[in-house]
Amino acid sequence: MELVTKQKIDHFLAGKTLAIAGASRFESSFSAQVAKHLTKLGYNLWYVNPAFDSNQIENQHVQTIDKLPKDVNHVLVLTNKSQTEWVVQQIIAKGIRNVWIQQQSDTPEALELAYQNSLNVIHHHCIFMFSQPEGMHKFHHRIKKIFGKIPK
């Protein structure tokens, strides 16, 4: 498995249009917190969840990765582990090359599939730690930095 580097993380975060796979409909969810944070940073977000009632392109909500517009080249995966490999398969089929599989969503099978298909993969890391962290995330970032757990 390839090492996650700061350069790979920076490359992912440079894509200002991205999709959140596993986006929740509930405002108190982790994915909603991530979306709020990334929107505040100026990201143009698309939301992917098969539980959406329908594809609502005007609201940037779609049920599957294949419904995303062509300009979406980055996907943040916040799914349950049981769905992650299926989402990575969709990402590959769509031709998207940049994927961040949030810690707690990653599985060995999904990571192997992503690497076999030469995707730029970020995994085992929380996106909050690298996207201008605030509050407790800033504290966690500092602690990780002290203990040498931040990619170089």
Counting residues of the chain whose pLDDT is more than 90, the rounded percentage is: 63
Return all residues near 97 (Cβ < 8 A) that are at least 6 apart: 73, 118, 119, 120
Tens of pLDDT, residue by residue over 89-110, are 999 999 999 999 998 999 999 9
Question: Average pLDDT, stretch 123-127?
Answer: 89
Tens of pLDDT, residue by residue over 48-66, are 999 887 767 668 989 999 9
Neighbour count for residue 49 (Cβ, 10 Å): 19
The CA–CA distances, whole Å, from 115 to 20, 73, 137 equal: 20, 17, 28
Q: Is the pTM of this model over 0.95?
A: no
- State residue 129's pLDDT score: 74
Residues in the chain: 152
Give the distance, in angstroms, between the CA of residue 150 and the centroid of all CA atoms in the same chain. Answer: 18
- CATH class entry, domain 6-146: alpha beta
Asked whether the beta carbons of 47 and 23 are under 8 A apart, the reply is yes
Domain edges within the chain: 6-146
Full DSSP string of the chain: -PPP-HHHHHHHHH--EEEEET--S-TTSHHHHHHHHHHHTT-EEEEE-TTSSS-BGGGTEESSGGGS-TT--EEEE---HHHHHHHHHHHHHHT--EEEE-TTT--HHHHHHHHHTT-EEEESS-GGGTSS--HHHHHHHHHHHHTT-S--
